[in-house]
Structure formats: C-alpha cells, structure tokens
Amino acid sequence: MYKRRIKIFLGLVAVVFAVMIARLGYLQILRGDDYRLQAEEALQKYELLPARRGRILDRTGEFVLAQDEACTDLCLHYRFLTADEKWILAQQKRIRKQEHVSLDEAGKIYQDRARRTWRVVEEQARERGVDLPATIEEIVRRVERIRAGRDYDVREQNQEHPVICALDNETAVRLKPQLEGTIGLALRSTHKRVHPFGDLACHVIGMTGRVWAEDLEERNLTAADEPDWLERLRRNYQPWDTIGRRGVEAMCENVLRGVRGSRRLKRIGSGVQVLEEVPAQHGHDVHLTLDLRLQQEGVAQLQKGGYTGCVVILSVPLGEVLALVSVPTFDLNRYSQDYEILAEETLYLPLLHRAVGRRYSPGSTIKPLMALAGLGTGAISEHTTFTCQGSFDPRYPDRFRCWNRSGHGSEDLRAALRDSCDVYFYHVGQLLGLDKAAPWLDRFGYGDLPGTGLPDERAGLVPTVDWMRRHGRTAELRGEARLEGIGQGVIEATPLHVANGIATIARGGKFLSPVLVLEGAPPRVSRDLGINPSHLRAVREGMFQVVNEPGATAYKAFFGDGVERLPFKVCGKTGTAQVAPQRIDSDGNGRITVQDRIARTGDMLWFIGYAPAEDPKVAFAVVLEYVQEGGGGRNAAPIAREMLRLCHRLGYLD
C-alpha cells in the first residue's frame, strides 16, 4: 500500500513537471517572441511632440500679425496638486525601492521633495505675478468638470498640468537642474502666441485661450471615431491646450491648429532610446485681405481726432476687406494680464469689435438704398418731387422735422440725396411702408450677418409689420416707416453692412459678401439684384453731387479752403444719426436703465461712398460715436478723404 502511494505521488509529480516543462516550452519556443515584445513594450513610453499653430499674415504675406514662439510650461502632476493619498503612497513605495530605505524614511524623503517642488513653483509664480492658488483652483475645477458624471478616473487626473506658462528658454535651462530632488514637477515644451504689431487689427485677429471642458466634449474624437488611441491622443485637445476664442483665431481654428507628433521611447538603464518618431504636423498659415498700412492709418485718423468708432474699406471688384478698424484698441500681447481692466471698461468698450459687432442707426446713409427701393417698387420715379418746408407736415413743425429747419423747397431725387433732405425721404419711407422696404434692404444684406465669418458678427435689424406686431408697436407703423426712410427708428446695421451696401451700388447692383481671409473663409454669397441701370445712375449722380457740388453736405471736406485736392472724383453720402445717451451701470445692478448715469451724449456721424466715381475700385464707411458738434460732412468725411488719399498712393484706385 505504501509503495503504491509513493508511485502515485511520484506519478503526479512527474505529470506536474511535464506540464510545467510543456508550458515553459510553449512560452519560450512558441510564444517567446510575443512575450519578449510585451516585456519590451512595458519598458517603453510615448512622448507627445507639440505642433506649432499657423501664422496669421496680412494680404501681402510680408507682415506677420500672429505667430507661435517656442517656450516651456512648468507643470505639476494633478495627483500632487490634490494631495491624493494613494498617489503619495505609491510615490513613497517607489522611493523606498529606489533608495533601499524603510517606508517611514521614504515618507520623509517624499515630504522633503514636495517642499522643494513648492519652493521652485512659488518662486516662479512670484517672479511672474501668477496667482498660484487661483491657478490651481482653476485646474482642479476644470478636471472635475471633465470627470463630472463618471464613476471612474479620467486621463486628466494622471497628467501634469501647467501652473506657470510660457517660460523663456533661458529660464527653462536654469530650472532644469532644479527638477532633481523634486516630485510631480515637469517642464513641457510648448508654444505661446505673440503679436508683433501689438494692438493693430486686434479685433480682427482675435485671441486664443485655454480649452474648456465643453471643448473637450464637443471636439475630441472618441474610440468610435478613431480606434487608434495614439492617433486620438495626437489629434485631441488636452486640458492645457489653447484654442481660438475670438476673431480669425476662432474662425480659422481648423486651419491654424496643427496635429501633435509622437515619439516612442525605450528605457535602457538610466537612459532612453528613441524607437520611432512621428513628426508634428504644424498648422497652416492664414492670410488676411487687410492692408496693414490702411489699417494703421485708420487707427491714426480716429485717434488723432479723439474719436471712438470705426473705418471700413472694401475692394469693389473683389469684395475683399482692405481695412476693418475699430477704436479703441488693445494690445493682444497683454490681453491676459489686462483682461479684467478691459472687461470692466464699460464706457469706451475696447473689446467691442464695432465694425462687425455693433449695430448703429444708419442715419442718412440709408437714403441711397431707400431711393433704389422706391424706384424699384414704383413708389417714386427719379423725377418725383416733394416740397420741404422744414418738416413733413408744416402744421406740426416739431414732428418729423428736416435737419434744415428752413426747408429745401421742391426737390427731386438727385437734389434730395445731395442735400440729404429728410422730408423727401419721410415721403419715400411712407410710400414704401416697412414691408416693401424690408425685401430691398435684405437683398443688400442688411438682414443677415455681414458674411466674413467672424464670430463677433451681428445681423442687422430690418423691421417688418410682423416684427412691429410681435413687439407691441403696431400703433407706430406709419411713423416708423417715415423714420426708416432717414435711417432712424428701429432699423440698425453694422458699419460693414453699410459699406457693403454702397459697394453693391458701386459695382452696378451685384451683391458680394465681403471676404476677410484667403484660407478658411465661409462660402461666399453672390447675387445680382437686377436693379434698373437708370435707377442706379440717378442714385450715383446724387451721391456725386454730395461731394462735388458747392453747398452740398460733403463739399467742404473735399474742396474747402486749405484742403489738398484728391486727383480723382468721389461719390459719397453723409449721415447724422440721433441716438439716446450712453449710460453706464452706475448703481451696479447689472442692468442699464434710465436711472443710471449718462456717460456720453451726441450723435453717430457717418460718411460713406466709393471712388473713383467713374470706375469704382473701393467703397468705404466711417462712423464716429457720440460727437456733439458738427455732422458727418464736417467730422467723418475728412477721415474718409485721407484714407482715400492713401488708397490712391498704394495703387488701389488704379
């Protein structure tokens, strides 16, 4: 019995050894290469390579308006920032293994390294004026928003996050040796956005900013979109990435943004070996249609007069935006540091892109369009006359007045445009009514977004009877129609709307949506309005008289004493829009009411037109805010004159 048990036991042992030998043979001979590869991969890691964002350049490509410069971010591990107990214990165990010490000693070493880490970070924060607690709080808040609704850890909890951004190369080199003896601290190569011209075209260029949780949710690829995890990592936004937030930076995000590269590394002793490298695909450049010389001159002209407002210049043949000036400006290089000051400036609103993002009452600049609407619908002919005695109805001299209280007498269409007679266009507005005028204004683009694709764009406001009814203003229909005839009342448009409307007249009734960028622009809208050539000729002749006939509203700006004559003829239209005073939130309740303090009063002054008169090459609009003395001919027209002089010198009128 005993010998039998021994035999059974030895047999079982032999079977076990046979199985083990077979398994070892299987692992080493048949699957050896696979497991060797897995072991090697365990010693490998991946490193992402930053992609440079594309540049933004002017129309010539000669001047760079925005570009990336290499820099370094100082980063802290999220688990270190949040003092995660499990992570800290794991670090202590790693230290125990590396240093061959007890766990208690490893804990002391960890605390010493943590103190060194905070010392390095706090020193850099002090030197750069960084609010470190606020920065850390924002990082934690951002990661928690990403993690919200999930019962598992997200990748961002196991990554380093930048706490001090955009260190220069000298500082990064100096800091690198200090990383020894720290924990959770890393230097990451990246780029920062710089703007060589500071505030020039700041509203057009726009800004970049940190990605938000919503960006990660909306824009990032999932495994269903892209199965390769490394490819997703290269293409997806990370919490420390930047994204276009305003202006062309936002509009052309998909063109400007690049794709990260990657590097596969293998740990060999204390060093690493590069096994494979996929280079970064840098973002593409974007060329604006702007001419920086015109942009600079527009800013200088407005600032010289102490005005807030804007200047728009368009190429008539191509519809390209040559200048899109908004004043006041701000320095893009200091946007982050100055943001609170800029955002709290509620009087002059430096962050507002007036040319596309602020709607104004167009005033008398609407009259050429209302004239074409009246002619096109048959409400008037080019020979229709109305008598102006200073008001629409002489029995009520203080209602629907003309700017000329003495009256203009009997005027036909051309004379009414030349003299900017309000009474004439009260009649045109009333004959048309809101519902006949609206389709014409919409065909000129007033009811739509201007069309450049800039995120700041606002659509114009063109009232209809239905709009008035929905807003409880049906009792005002006849009066509103009269006011619309002179560009007052409900109707509003941005300066780009107004400039493009005049460009449409200048190119013979063909509407083109304006183009601002040569790469990444939205599809253009083009339509022939089918305007009768004789109607266009009558309106253009009236606009010619505005500038070139003695006594007309813009004559002195171009032919007055001491004015250097232009070597070409200009067609134009002055405008003075009466507006409510600008109030600021003086009681701090977050609303603007009639109880709040009046900050600025005055009129919105316009001068619009095109040149040369006989063969239009550029169209323009100048608007000045809250001017208390003089009209558009006295204040805005001289600015347009000097802009046209520069256009001629630069060859845009050839």
Per-residue pLDDT for 573 more than 80? yes
462 φ/ψ angles, rounded to the nearest 5 degrees? -115, 105
Tokens of residue 436, six digits = 């006949």
Can you tell me the distance from the alpha carbon of 632 to that of 608, in angstroms, rounded to the nearest whole number? 9
Can you tell me the distance from the alpha carbon of 425 to that of 413, in angstroms, rounded to the nearest whole number? 9
Can you tell me the distance from the alpha carbon of 62 to that of 15, in angstroms, rounded to the nearest whole number? 82
Structural domains of the chain, ranges and CATH numbers in brackets:
42-63+197-288 (3.90.1310.10), 77-185 (no CATH), 292-649 (3.40.710.10)
Q: What's the chain's average pLDDT?
A: 91
pLDDT of residue 187: 92
Per-residue pLDDT for 62 more than 50? yes
DSSP 81-108: HTT-HHHHHHHHHHHHHHHT--HHHHHH
If DSSP codes are grouped into helix, strand and coil, which group holds residue 63?
coil
Catalogue the E-assigned strands of 348-398. 386-388
Tokens of residue 205, six digits = 């260029």
Q: Using an 8 Å Cβ cutoff, are 446 and 529 in contact?
A: no
42 confidence band (pLDDT: 50, 70, 90): very low
pLDDT of residue 3: 63
pLDDT in tens, 264-321: 887 776 667 888 889 999 999 999 999 999 999 999 999 999 999 999 999 999 999 9
Catalogue the E-assigned strands of 496-547. 510-512, 526-528
Summarize the confidence of residues 180-195 as an average pLDDT. 90
pLDDT of residue 39: 44
Summarize the confidence of residues 68-72 as an average pLDDT. 90
Can you tell me the distance from the alpha carbon of 622 to that of 608, in angstroms, rounded to the nearest whole number? 6
Can you tell me the distance from the alpha carbon of 130 to that of 125, in angstroms, rounded to the nearest whole number? 5
Q: Using an 8 Å Cβ cutoff, are 586 and 346 in contact?
A: no
Per-residue pLDDT for 32 more than 60? no
pLDDT in tens, 448-487: 999 999 999 999 999 999 999 999 888 788 899 999 999 9
Can you tell me the distance from the alpha carbon of 71 to that of 485, in angstroms, rounded to the nearest whole number? 57
pLDDT of residue 41: 44
pLDDT in tens, 14-29: 666 666 666 666 555 5
DSSP 557-623: HHHSTTPPPPSS--EEEEEEEE-PPEE--TT-SS---TTSPEEE--EEEEEEEEESSSS--EEEEEE
pLDDT in tens, 327-338: 999 999 999 889
DSSP 492: B
pLDDT in tens, 343-368: 989 899 999 999 999 999 999 999 99
Distances (CA, A) of 27 to 23, 43, 44, 307: 6, 20, 22, 82
Share of the chain above pLDDT 70, in %: 93
